[in-house]
Amino acid sequence: MPDHPTSAPPAQVALLKGAVARLAPVLPMLTELGERFAAAGHELALVGGPVRDAFLGRTSPDLDFTTDALPDEILAAVTGWADAHWDIGREFGTIGLRKGPRMLEITTYRADTYDRTSRKPEVMFGHSIEGDLVRRDFTVNAMAIRLPSLEFVDVHDGLADLAARRLRTPAPPEESFADDPLRMMRAARFTAQLGFTVAPEVRRAMQERAATLEIISAERIRDEFSKLLLAPEPRAGLTLLVDTGLADIFIPELPALRLEVDEHHRHKDVYQHSLTVLEQAIALEGPAGGPPESVPGPDLVLRLAALLHDIGKPATRRFEPGGGVSFHHHEVVGAKLAAKRLKAMRYDKETVKQVARLVELHLRFHGYGGGQWTDSAVRRYVTDAGPLLQRLHRLTRSDSTTRNLRKAQRLSAAYDDLEARIDKLAAEEELSRVRPELDGNEIAEVLGIKPGPVLGEAYKYLLSVRLDEGPIGKDAARERLLAWWAQRSN
């Protein structure tokens, strides 16, 4: 690969030099593999994400290649060179292999045609790298490096787009998105991951073809949405989804947050507030690989909860006499809406459960005005949050977006006090493991009953005593249980 073409603008020259340096550790392997294919009479090129990432100064963990060799010919070329290989993608022309710590995929040139009602490709192998590149999603992913010559192939000006941080499609965007509507989701994801902006014609095509996203499976949409949400700056990608109408197709509750703000500004812009809460929650995540109590980022559950914490507001908004606006019980409504939407998007049960619970609990802190938390209230707060406590801390703190500095400082101080109270009681009472002072067997023995709903009722009563009063000892718990039983039996 030449250091730079003499006619390249300075920004592109810098990218080319950086790419050469970034690929240096794998150049011997790339050259060796390219020579094997050349010896067998085949073309081979590094392509797509690894090339783009090299120009961006990033290291790509996996390497993707394209070739004119058919799957059997690919296998013949790598047999004896690769440490392992697999052909699970043979139907689509892809052979996977491992060389040392590196994972590689080699795919025959493609010239897919699509059934545009189902997004199922009819696989047709192509004959040239130019034909292969034109079917890729964006120009920045349609650059290649021929091997072993290291010739840079950029027939769609992807390098110029990379330098401009711009997303364009190799083919007209209407055709590209018609072939695979999920590419519109990828445009939003790359906006969030790489800080790119979409070209005007790409944005127009996204708006015009948004409804075609309906033919894509919920699982594929979910995966792209999760990648976007886990990106360093998801706000730009989410904004693009909403502004182009794509969000209306798979998560309509998000654009629905754009409540009309009345002329007297009696309530804040819920949509913008939610995006700000998401950004603030991200800022409170711990470092990747940190201890669990730091909520190491990126954390999907926290980010989903931050984005969706107010989705119950549109359904609960009421204009009160005197000019006020209320959203009574929006956290309860929102928890149900969040669970319903995430289930529809095929998120796993645990993620759905955790996000819905955080949405339900996100106002709990504000139910104790003035920061006057009793020991009982602290115990209940911790018990209700359970393993989600650290995420709830971050969600609650993030939910303060007021511009009133005094109010913000007051809320922060109150939450500081709550966390201090939690730490103090946790040290004294092991709050994370609060249980009634009599277990199920002991309760059954005291009351002379068998396991069943009544035993569950008695257990809940003793748990409430434990939460309200703290440890009182087994004898006192036994007396309280008998008194409750006598009253219940009357």
- List CB contacts of 487: < 8 A, sequence separation 6 or more: none
CA distance 143 to 186: 17
Span 10-164: which CATH code? Answer: 3.30.460.10
Task: Please give the biggest Cα pair distance in the chain.
Answer: 96
What CATH fold (topology level) applies to the domain 251-432? Hypothetical protein af1432 (1.10.3210)
CA distance 1 to 257: 50
Residue 81 token pair? 């060179």
Strand positions, DSSP E, 345-481? none
As its CATH architecture, domain 173-250 has Orthogonal Bundle (1.10)
Nearest to 460 by CA among 383, 388, 354, 389: 383
Report domain extents, the chain.
Answer: 10-164, 173-250, 251-432, 435-489
Tell me the pLDDT of the chain (490 aa) as tens digits: 544 444 566 766 777 777 878 888 899 999 999 999 999 999 999 999 999 999 888 877 789 999 999 999 999 999 999 999 998 888 888 999 999 999 999 999 987 555 555 555 566 787 899 999 999 999 999 999 999 998 899 999 999 999 999 999 999 999 999 989 999 999 999 999 999 999 999 999 999 999 999 999 999 999 999 999 999 999 999 999 999 999 999 999 999 998 755 444 455 689 999 999 999 999 999 999 888 889 999 999 999 999 999 999 988 888 878 767 778 889 999 999 999 999 999 999 999 999 999 999 998 887 665 556 788 888 888 888 989 999 999 999 999 877 777 877 878 888 888 888 888 777 766 666 678 888 888 888 888 888 888 888 888 888 888 888 888 888 898 988 888 888 887 6
CA–chain centroid gap for 339, Å, is 16
CA–chain centroid gap for 184, Å, is 17
Task: Please state, as a whole number, how many other Cβ atoms lie within 10 Å of the Cβ of residue 185.
Answer: 26
Bond into 173 cis (ω within 30): no
Q: Are 289 and 296 in contact (CB under 8 A)?
A: yes
DSSP-based three-state secondary structure for 106: strand
Residue 338 token pair? 């969040």
Q: Are 425 and 379 in contact (CB under 8 A)?
A: yes
